[in-house]
Homo-oligomer: A and B are copies of this chain.
Amino acid sequence: MAVKVVIIGGGSSYTPEIIEGLIDRQATFPVREIVLVDIEEGREKLEIVGRLAQRMIEKANAEITLSWTLNRRAALVGADFVSTQIRVGGLKARALDERIPLKHGFIGQETNGAGGLFKAFRTIPVLIDLANEVAEICPDAWLVNFTNPAGIVTEAVLKHSSHKKVIGVCNIPFNMRNSVAEILETPVERVAIEFIGLNHFVFGRHVWVDGVDRTSDVLASLNAGNDYSPANIVGLGWSESFLSSLGMLPNPYHQYYFQTKDVLKKDLEAYAQNGTRAEVVQQVEAQLFEKYKDVDLAVKPEELEKRGGAYYSDAACNLMDSIHNDRGDIQTVNTLNHGTIRDLPDDAVIEVNAVITKSGPRPISIGALPLPIRGLITNLKTFEQLAIQAAVSGTYEDAYLACLMNPLIQDEKRIDPLLKELFTAHEAYLPQFKKEVYS
């Protein structure tokens, strides 16, 4: 009954959050062992985070054995859950994903457009390797993937690794539900939202409170200026026509698609002033790690909440808890479609409400997508599948097609220079793309 959790990318600044989450759930979710794993480049951060986590556990008097290591294979032995929160190439790579597209006149964002595409290219091979290792060493473990672009990465792992117990999680639906509860001044437990779509492209079709439809109240409130954008996205607000015609809740990332020009302008201005978001985050991280070093600190510091990924660990801990306890509650996860959304292929990963059981998530059927969003969601999924194909094949043609069919790029004559600069910049992390492919 004792549970072992292995955290890949354990040196991340987010780790205190998940540690806190696991400590808080000790009564019902009996985690007895946690191993933080990282790579050589992250050794120092891992050490800092490990010590802080140790102090947190001790202060909470929790019965958890903690360790940290660079030896992933050893760490995986006997794991029940493996959670991933890695960033291949670190914040430096993210800065390139943000800067280079901007320079070519495109949105530069870490999970959307060309930036998201290259993050996928760097991340997918690493996570496929991990998943194969999990399948070999701890085949009964669930791999809980937070690594962005979470939907694409989860699908790639399910398609191209031998491990099938893989679930992707994102904090966006989690946060939207919390924000909606605040807007409606209702305890969050009484709020249900029907989520439809793809990671970072999900819509809320219905909001219910105790089973009563309150969607229009939420839309009215959004229109009146309420917002639920996370720290890393500056919301521009939505027009009344948009909200009333759509009749569904957009998510903060939709601004990239429905306000492209304005977002590009805003991002160019922000870049001129502060550099990329990655650079801002680098400073935040540096300050956080200074905090973490403080041997008197034994709780998650407040500053972490401003970091942008709030509630990530809550989403993760809830999921692991429900799986372990076969709770049968409904959570929003990234999982295989298998007919849940008629318009998408069986092997596509979607973001969807699912009943969470010990044997995995069972998505609630959606059927045909509502007409207004059918095209764009299919379009985005096509891009995602082309991206996965390119990440695995390593051919220029596939990479080109992925750009061509991404609504934020799509400009056939501007793709070559964009791709070439990105390939060159990220060369060290893209072994699957031979250099002659793009030079």
A357 touching B211 by the CB < 8 A rule? Answer: yes
Bound CA–CA A330/B362 (angstroms): 12
Cα distance A211–B414 when bound, in Å? 36
The stretch from A179-187, A340-348, A428-436 touching chain B is A340-348
- Please tell me if A328 contacts chain B, counting CB pairs below 8 Å: yes
CB distance from A311 to the nearest CB of B (A): 21
**The one of B208, B241, B262 that contacts A358, using a Cβ cutoff of 8 Å:** B208
CB nearest neighbor in B for A338: B367
A322 to chain B: closest residue by CB: B211
Give the distance to chain B from A24, nearest Cβ to Cβ, in Å.
23
Instruction: Map CB proximity to B onto A160-191 as digits: 1 under 8 Å, 0 otherwise.
Output: 00000000000000000000000000000000
CB within 8 Å of B: which of A344-399?
346, 355, 357-359, 362-368, 371-376, 378-383, 385-386, 389, 396-398
Do A359 and B241 touch (CB < 8 A)?
no
Is A309 in the interface zone, CB < 8 Å from B? no
Contact of A210 among B244, B261, B358 (CB under 8 A): B358
Bound Cα distance A204, B292 (Å): 53
Give residues in A with beta carbon < 8 Å to B. 105, 192, 206, 208, 210-213, 238-239, 241-242, 244-246, 257-262, 326, 328-330, 338-343, 346, 355, 357-359, 362-368, 371-376, 378-383, 385-386, 389, 396-398, 400-401, 404-405, 407, 410-416
With A375-B382, A404-B245 in contact, do A339 and B358 touch (Cβ < 8 Å)?
Answer: no
Shortest CB–CB separation between residue A257 and chain B, in angstroms?
Answer: 7
State in angstroms the CA–CA spacing of A411 and B256 once bound together: 10
Complex alpha-carbon distance, A343 and B212, angstroms: 32
Assembly stoichiometry (copies) = 4
Give the complex CA separation of A262 and B410 in angstroms.
12
Which of A372, A396, A405 has most chain B Cβ within 10 Å?
A372
Min CB–CB distance A208 → chain B (angstroms): 7
How close is A373's CB to chain B, nearest CB, in angstroms? 8
Q: Known interface pairs A208-B358, A358-B210. Does A238 touch B365 (Cβ–Cβ under 8 Å)?
A: no
A116 to chain B, nearest CB (A): 16
Please tell me if the beta carbons of B372 and A346 are within 8 angstroms of each other in the complex: no
Give Cα A339–Cα B350 distance, bound, in whole angstroms.
Answer: 15
Task: State whether B357 touches A355 (Cβ < 8 A).
Answer: no
**Known contacts A192-B328, A346-B367; 4 further A-B pairs (Cβ under 8 A):** A239-B415, A241-B412, A257-B410, A372-B401
- A385 and chain B: residue at smallest CB distance: B371
A257 partner residues in chain B, CB cutoff 8 A: 410
21 A-B pairs in the complex with CB atoms less than 8 angstroms apart? A213-B359, A238-B412, A241-B400, A241-B415, A241-B416, A244-B397, A246-B401, A246-B404, A257-B410, A328-B329, A339-B341, A339-B368, A355-B364, A364-B364, A372-B386, A372-B404, A374-B378, A375-B375, A376-B379, A378-B379, A407-B407
